[in-house]
Chains A and B, each alone.
Chain A
């Protein structure tokens, strides 16, 4: 589908499928079109071109009210003049259900979400996490074919965020919900998703499983956006089946070739793909100097200056941290190093 505002395409030629009972995340930096995509699915925006199908039905021209889709908003959008029960039973009520029936449905979902007993509270009398769960219950009450989440965790504090995202994932798997989930937080996306769609500049950059995206990024953008990565210039010196021999700054390494030809190539190295040696390890290594070293409790983050550029690395050895300006030697681990096509 395509969505244009005037000449600007907010969503440009985006096409994907969500399988039933699957949680798909739209991930990308702000302004990449991920929220617009979600609103197109919801029917809050209308596609300029293309079509949207839900459960075998073409809903492209249906308004939001006619689509079997519910949404959990970033701000939760709880109606402030209604209490929790009225909020959750709103959907069935405006669909014409009787009050008793609507409240029964609402009670069921509130119980499921662990909010039984708070029915008579006003939204403003709830904590942020509780409000968020009311919003989820309200979206679930119509048992929609697709449930949409628009950055649902961004208004929660860091500790709560981890717990709520686990709750959402658990609920989704338990009820076998089909979910589209928007976030700009790559860690959140990796944690909850079956499949991630990385978007950049209104287009899809890559679609894949969390592991696939992390281990085999298709582009420098994806490599950099999903987990940190240092991009290192290297050279493919020979090919052997699916493997390529890569040389960089005096090191040689065998990696899956991913369709690359002999010649200059770029590598994405994850922070744990580097190994830092305080003394010459006695095998080929890149000599460098510690530019920054931050002790973060369970690991140490390094920025190392080398002739091949600045490396960002983390190291689990925290007993002895080399001071700034110290000479170190860097080698590559087997994990966390990949050739990037293009």
Chain B
């Protein structure tokens, strides 16, 4: 029956027809450019007509791609030879569209060389629209189909197509922006090549100055950033280790509460902790006032600067270190310690000679993560930094401040990017591989040793005060919105919530009159669109990485995980530099926000997908294949149901990250598409702390509800006696 099936399907649709039809539709029937209002509506001429009318003759050669693609149909070529024509058609078409798109911009030639050759200003055109999108997409699919016909990936068209699309998307939305930043660092602000200026900006003393060592003026912003990051890395690792030891190796009564600690930072927008610190320790903060009225200590601005940012980042990143250290401590097989015990080592000796050395690579890992997270953080330094400047805030003010200097922003971004990529590279290449996992699949009936007393009390002394402090901070976040003004006037009130979330019933139904509603709805909409895209793309990538063998797979993996290490601020700057001008003109739309979220959070989907897929025996895929299911069918009928827990994790995570992100989106929001986080930051800036904290706590509660809702809705299915697949590894990213 398999043979008949095949002939029937190949008669219905010869390979390559569908993508070719889509490309043709895009070229001949849909408007090539974006319309004037920046939308992708139906106004405007298709590319083919523009070329024929002579308005934009450079769109003409695209037709050659269609001639190439049609050749095998006309000459009745099949198989490998037809594939070659398809590849040639796709490659030429995409090359030409990309080349003309980057050469001809709004104001004429985009390269000085071209202007010199053909005369300035040259032809002009707007950004690409729906027609161009479909043409490129169709040609890309056609080329991939051609490669599959030439035997790539065992001739599996779906796999080749998926790889092609993911690579193209990552090139467009991760690499292109970064390349733009690098290029613009070498140009002055009017677009002329100026390498001298680059060196001048790069060696600027405001970046690398060491004045503070001599007791003089402040140090350069790069040193500030590194110094802060080192402190945060060391301290958050120490705290995380203390918490992890208490959670796994003691009978501490409130161990369960520690679990809560791991969820909080994920659903807390990054700057909210800074805000709570202001409400506690600011000049009119609750603690400051208490100290003044009781002990006569005058309130000061000490919280604004290094101490404040450090405390806020520790509060934000200690839970991440805790998650990392938890898996490290749990990964040490009890039998290791039992072996040492039978060799008559004392408890403290065992800890020093066995337990701790086994944890060491994990500690390095946690440190590097804290280091990178601190450098990438934007919200806390923005709220609490004061005169203490770090790279991420400096980049922001170089773009939006009074003295806008894009070249300077680009240079600062490069410095920050080098730092975070360096940390990421060390973590991936060196530490990541050295982590010992002594727990194997075989049962280990041993019991972990209780901690030696010295270590135990050390852990308690570190962790308990900090744990109490964390809960005070979160209590402030929750109750801060219900009083008139923290620190000054504790009269209970619902005024802040009323301002933010009032709903009035009037003519024509409900009116959402609260000031927070527009940004809330915009955020929820963007996050809800981005979440399934992120999860889908991430899991598809994970499947390709774990289940398919293809040339360049390692490079592919590196590409997909790279956006992890790019700080949000850098992403924001690079997006406005890259997508403000043709050929891809997206700034001011919701699309750019969705794209930004998808590509920033995709690595998490990839990781949880890889973790889940490595639990699923590869022979399941193969069994499905030998039963005649193609890879797309296998993915749908076998993999998707088994990947449900990973899907939930990726969905929840990308939704929450999209709701709480601030660093990248603060550059990308527009009047129409303002995000909740940027709105709150604005309120903090304006001194409306009550409103800001009320909105923040509502967001936190809303996200908790959504997380529980998604888990209930998608659910988990028990797979026989083995129970659930282990939860995917803790998502850790260069946030900010």
Contact = CB atoms under 8 A, between A and B. Distances in A.
A66 interface: yes
Interface in A60-92: 61-71, 73-75, 77-81, 90-92
Given A63-B156, A81-B641, A95 B5 contact: yes
A71 B1 contact: no
Contacts of B627: 70, 90-91, 94, 138-139, 142
A94 B623 CA distance: 12
A124 B624 contact: no
A73 B619 contact: yes
A237 interface: no
Interface residues of B, number: 32
A69 B2 CA distance: 10
Contact of A122 (B151, B637, B720): B720
Nearest to A5: B549
B279 interface: no
A80 B642 contact: yes
The B interface, classified by DSSP as helix, strand, loop or mixed, is: helix
A288 interface: no
B149 to A, nearest CB: 10
Nearest to B640: A81
Contact of A77 (B3, B155, B619, B628): B619
A42 B3 contact: no
B572 to A, nearest CB: 42
Most buried by B among A74, A81, A90, A122: A81
A75 B626 contact: no
B712 interface: no
Contact of B720 (A97, A124, A139, A143): A124
A290 interface: no
A104 interface: no
A65 B622 contact: no
Contacts of A44: 622, 625-626
B629 A81 contact: no
Contacts of A63: 154-156, 625, 630
B721 interface: yes
A242 interface: no
The A interface, classified by DSSP as helix, strand, loop or mixed, is: loop
B6 A64 contact: no
A148 B369 CA distance: 48
Contacts of B444: none
Nearest to A135: B623
A68 to B, nearest CB: 5
A90 B624 contact: yes
A152 interface: no
B617 A75 contact: yes
Contacts of A74: 619
Contact of B1 (A65, A75, A123, A142): A142
Contacts of B721: 124
Interface string B709-736: 0000000010111100000000000000
Interface of A: 42-44, 46, 61-71, 73-75, 77-81, 90-92, 94-97, 122-125, 138-139, 142-143, 148
Interface of B: 1-3, 5-6, 151, 154-156, 617, 619-620, 622-631, 633, 637-638, 641-642, 717, 719-722
30 contacts: A44-B622, A46-B154, A63-B154, A64-B622, A64-B626, A65-B626, A65-B630, A70-B626, A70-B627, A71-B622, A71-B623, A71-B626, A73-B622, A75-B619, A79-B620, A80-B720, A81-B641, A90-B629, A94-B627, A94-B633, A95-B1, A95-B5, A95-B628, A96-B5, A122-B720, A124-B721, A139-B626, A142-B627, A142-B628, A148-B626
Given A81-B641, A96-B5, A122-B720, 15 more contacts: A44-B625, A63-B625, A64-B154, A71-B622, A71-B626, A77-B620, A77-B622, A77-B623, A81-B638, A81-B717, A90-B629, A94-B628, A95-B1, A124-B721, A125-B720
